[in-house]
A = this chain, B = another copy of it.
Amino acid sequence: MLPDIEICRATSLTSIEAIANKAGFTASEFHSQGRFKAKISLSCLERLQTQTVGKLILVTAITPTPLGEGKTVTTIGLSQGMAKLGHSVMACIRQPSMGPIFGVKGGAAGGGYSQVAPMEELNLHLTGDIHAVTAAHNLAAAAIDARIYHEQRLGYDDFEQRTAMKALRIDSNNVVWKRVMDHNDRALRMVTVGRNETDKSINGFEREDGFDISAASELMAILALAKNLNDLRQRIGRIVVAYSHHGAPITTEDLQVAGAMAVSMKEAIEPTLMQTLEGVPTLIHAGPFANIAHGNSSIIADDIATRLAEFTVTEGGFGSDMGFEKACNIKAATSGKAPDCAVIVTTLRGLKANSGLYELRPGQPVPDTLFQPDHAALVSGFENLKWHIENVSKYGIPAVVAINRFPQDSQEELEQLAIMIHALPYQVEVALSDGFALGGEGTTELASKVIKQCQKVSTFTPLYQAQQTIEDKINAVAKKGYGAASVTFSDKARRQIHNMQEQGYGKLAVCLAKTPLSISTNAVIKGAPKGFDVPIRELKLCAGAGFIYALCGNVMTMPGLPEKPAFMSLDIDSNGNIIGLN
């Protein structure tokens, strides 16, 4: 098969105007951005308010290898299969981050004949939404340090007199708003800012700080969870960026920077319309990771798509312990719209990797030997798939297992896997998914089974209720969600929980950050671990997003680059075309 970028270039795409018309947007509801992208005006939501809401299908997966198991391929492939069957359908996916693109994983446009096109435009900058999040986030960070600097330089009284503003008396040891960058940049995890060997009046006041990747920004979560521009503005104003010397929370509103942040995100709140290689209208919006953020594309995009199309296919990042859990307990709880069906993507490669019999190093490509038949590994790794099927069934959501075929897979082993799944005592459907090699033609069976499951009455049950204590909610995700035996809160975490409860933030949801490479919090434990502990290192209040963010174990919110990063193969050829992107 051709490389993804060549398949994409060889496909004749439809104009974005025609795609927008097909999706059901009126002429004033979209603004083309070049030939193949359009920004969608939120005015369409007013017009569509009375429309019937279509079915929402959430694609999730087994515990993945570091390269992923093809959730986006399946999401795009499934949408194309549904279209082949004559249904109206849209896909909703996240905007890819430059971190993985230049790091290990490469692009996130799907692959083969199930791609969002043009893939290089999706993978690089798109319509600038992630950059807007980064810019708005770092504006608040600059505002914090500037305020500390001017208040301390002048003294609180002089500051108040001179500016006619109230001094905020920010405790520079208690600033909880890091800076962000959309790159994998290990060296920025812990930094000292405001360094000044000689003179405090020059570079501000020294303090310890750090950078997260933009996908982990609370603003990214807000973009994905906001209902409209006004809700975005209100949520931004609730963000707590620091605490005063008296321990009082200081918000972006206190810094008078919330308005400017919202202004900076005014275009980002509009989803971007693109198309799949087979012309399925696709909305791209927001890009939170599912390990260190809530991992789902936006409520606004789903809201638009489900009012326009019979079926909307979206995805939650990583395995069902990650993005799927957060789709249910954070996204659906906010939007009020639960998924009508879940698709659990599995691969032979991924199951064998879950046997623990192969050495997989985070940040490194997976070994080719994973594609060779290995019955013992398959049987052992199968436990992981069972775990994810059971996990999805906990939420009362009907499911279909999609076996995402890789070109190198053995036919015999694929059939074996299907038999093993059929033999399970769950009401789950199974289908081979060949979207990568065949596009929509390869996913019609999957599409039929998904449509069938969508007819079932959903009995959606989230894992916890808002009124439970913060501790109980974290326990619910760790124990009922992951199957942990225990949860250990650090002293710091206990103190933070106490303060958040005191300050009235007890009713927020919880968002756990952990490795996606294991159901447990330890990346090397494969399969379906039991009896493990979930250590909660520290918490972060995300009052604007509406959740409390809990860091499990040694999870990092800024990835690093490997020895041979993906950027090394990228270039522009003599005709001005991009090469090396996949």
Contact = CB atoms under 8 A, between A and B. Distances in A.
A198 B189 CA distance: 13
Contacts of A571: 233, 258-260, 262-263
Interface residues of A, number: 82
Interface stretch (A50-58, A131-139, A373-381): A131-139
A188 interface: yes
A18 interface: no
A190 interface: yes
B259 A143 contact: no
A146 interface: yes
A260 to B, nearest CB: 4
Contacts of A190: 194-197, 203
B183 A188 contact: no
- Interface of A (DSSP majority class): mixed
A204 interface: yes
Contact of A145 (B150, B165, B185, B193): B185
A174 interface: no
A580 B567 CA distance: 41
Interface string A10-21: 000000000000
A211 to B, nearest CB: 9
Given A35-B31, A193-B188, A263-B572, A561 B143 contact: yes
Q: How many copies of the polypeptide does the oligomer hold?
A: 2
A266 B202 contact: no
Contact of A192 (B141, B159, B181, B195): B195
B192 A191 contact: yes
A186 interface: yes
Interface in A36-64: 39
Contact of A182 (B135, B192, B207, B581): B135
A55 B45 CA distance: 50
Contacts of A468: none
A20 to B, nearest CB: 13
Contacts of A233: 571-572
Contact of A186 (B35, B187, B204, B262): B204
Contacts of A207: 187
- Among A35, A184, A576, chain B packs the most CB atoms within 10 A around the CB of A576
A208 interface: yes
Interface in A138-188: 138-139, 141-143, 145-146, 149-150, 154, 159, 162-163, 165, 181-188
A187 B572 contact: no
Contacts of A134: 131
A580 B578 CA distance: 41
Nearest to A568: B256
Contact of A204 (B203, B205, B560, B580): B560
A184 B142 CA distance: 7
Nearest to A36: B31
29 contacts: A32-B32, A98-B264, A102-B139, A102-B142, A124-B267, A125-B131, A128-B128, A138-B183, A145-B186, A146-B184, A146-B186, A146-B561, A146-B565, A149-B560, A159-B563, A163-B563, A189-B202, A190-B194, A191-B194, A191-B195, A233-B572, A257-B567, A257-B568, A259-B567, A259-B572, A260-B568, A260-B571, A263-B578, A266-B578
User: Which 7 pairs across A and B sit closest by C-beta, in order of nearness?
Assistant: A259-B571, A260-B567, A145-B187, A131-B131, A146-B561, A190-B195, A142-B185
Given A125-B267, A128-B128, A186-B204, 19 more contacts: A32-B34, A124-B264, A135-B182, A139-B567, A142-B183, A142-B184, A145-B185, A146-B186, A149-B186, A150-B562, A162-B563, A186-B203, A188-B193, A189-B202, A195-B208, A230-B574, A262-B571, A263-B570, A266-B578
